Structure 1
Amino acid sequence: MANSVKRTPLYKQIEMYIYDHMRNNNWEEHHKLPSETELAEQFNVSRLTVKNAMQNLIDKGLIYRIQGKGSFISDQKGEPLLYESGPAEAKEKLIAYIVPLAKTMHALQMINGIEEQLTKQGYRLLLFKTYNSKEVEKQVLQEAIRYNVAGIIIYPVEGETYSEEILKLSLSSFPLVIVDRYLRGIETNCVYASNTKGAYDAVSHLLQSGHKKIGFVSTQINGTSSIEDRLAGYELALAEHNAPIEHRLRRTHFHLDQVNNIISTGSIEASVKHELQEFIGQNPDMTAIFAVNSPLGITVMEAASDMGIRVPEQLSVCFFDDFMFSDYSRIPPTCVDQQAYLIGQAAAKLIAAVIEDPNQERRKIEIPTILKVRSSTALCETKMNCAEC
Structure 2
Amino acid sequence: MIKEDKQPSLYEQIKTYILSEIAQQHWKPHDRIPSEHELTRQFSVSRITVKKAMSDLVENGVIYRLQGKGSYVSPVDKSMIADALPAPSPAKRPIALLLPFINNQFNALLLNGVESVLSEAGYPLLFCNTGNSQEKEERVIRNMVDRDVAGMIIYPVEGESYNREILHLTLDSFPLVVMDRYLRGIDTNFVCSDNVKGAQEAVDYLISLGHRNIGFVSTTVTGTSSIEDRLLGYEKSLAEHQIPIDHRYRLVHLDIEVPKTEEIRSFLTRNPGLTAIFAINPGFGLEILKVAEEMNIRVPQDLSLIFFDDFELSEFHYVRPTCVSQEELKLGQEAARLLLSIMMDPKQEKRKLFLPPALIVRDSTAPPPPQKQSR
**TM-score interval (norm. to shorter):** 0.7 to 0.9
Contact 1:113 1:343 in 2 (8 A): yes
Give the aligned partner of residue 283 of structure 1. 271
Alignment of 1:300 with 2:288, yes or no, is yes
Distance 2:198 2:170 in 1: 28
CA positional deviation for 1:147: 2.1
Q: Measure, in 2, the Cα distance between the counterparts of 1:387 and 1:153.
A: 46
Partner residue of 2:35? none
Higher Cα radius of gyration:
2
* Corresponding residue of 2:40: none
Q: State the alpha-carbon separation in 1 of the partners of residues 349 and 257 from structure 2.
A: 36
Aligned residue type for 1:388: S
Q: Tell me how far 1:388 sits from its aligned partner.
A: 3.5
Tell me by how many angstroms 1:159 deviates.
Answer: 0.7
Paired position in structure 2 for 1:196: 196
Alignment correspondent of 1:109: 109
Question: Which among 367, 372, 375 is matched to residue 386 of structure 1?
Answer: 372
Q: Please point out which of 301, 323, 328 is paired with 1:313.
A: 301
8 Å CA contact 2:282, 2:308 repeated in 1: yes
Q: 1:84-109 CA distances to partner (integer Å, 9 max, x unpaired)?
A: xxxxx999431100001112111011
Scaled by the length of structure 2, the TM-score of the pair is 0.75
- Identify the residue that residue 337 of structure 2 maps to in structure 1: 349
Q: Give the Cα–Cα distance (whole angstroms) in 1 for the partners of residues 209 and 241 of structure 2.
A: 12
Residue-pair matches, total: 287
Given that residues 321 and 335 in structure 1 are in contact (C-alpha distance below 8 angstroms), is that contact kept between their aligned partners in structure 2? Answer: yes
Report the counterpart of residue 23 of structure 1 in structure 2.
Answer: none
Give the 3-state SS of the residue equivalent to 2:222 in structure 1: coil
What residue identity is the alignment partner of 2:372?
C
Asked if structure 1 preserves the Cα contact closer than 8 Å seen for 2:93 and 2:148, the reply is no
After TM superposition, list the pairs within 5 Å mapping 1:1-389 onto structure 2: 92-258=92-258, 269=259, 272-380=260-368, 383=369, 385-388=371-374
Superposed displacement of residue 313, structure 1: 0.5
* Contact 2:212-2:373 within 8 A present in 1 as well: no
Q: Secondary structure at the match of 1:191?
A: strand
Distance in 1 between the 2:136 and 2:219 partners? 21
Stretches of 4+ moved more than 4 A in 1? none
One-letter code aligned to 2:338:
L
CA–CA distance in structure 1, aligned partners of residues 309 and 349 of structure 2 = 31
CA distance, structure 2, for counterparts of residue 332 and residue 131 of structure 1:
30
Deviation string for 1:350-382 (max 9, x for gaps)?
Answer: 0001111222211100111010011111112xx
TM-score by length of 1: 0.72
The answer as to whether partners of 1:93 and 1:122 remain within 8 angstroms in 2 is no
**Does the CA-based 8 Å contact 1:102-1:108 persist in structure 2?**
yes
Assess if the C-alpha contact under 8 Å between 1:117 and 1:345 holds in 2: yes
Unaligned runs of 5+ in 2: 1-88
Q: CA RMSD in A?
A: 1.4
Distance 1:332 1:249 in 2: 24
Task: Using the TM superposition, give the Cα deviation of residue 275 of structure 1 relative to its aligned residue in structure 2, in angstroms.
Answer: 0.9
Counterpart contact for 1:91–1:149, Cα < 8 Å: no
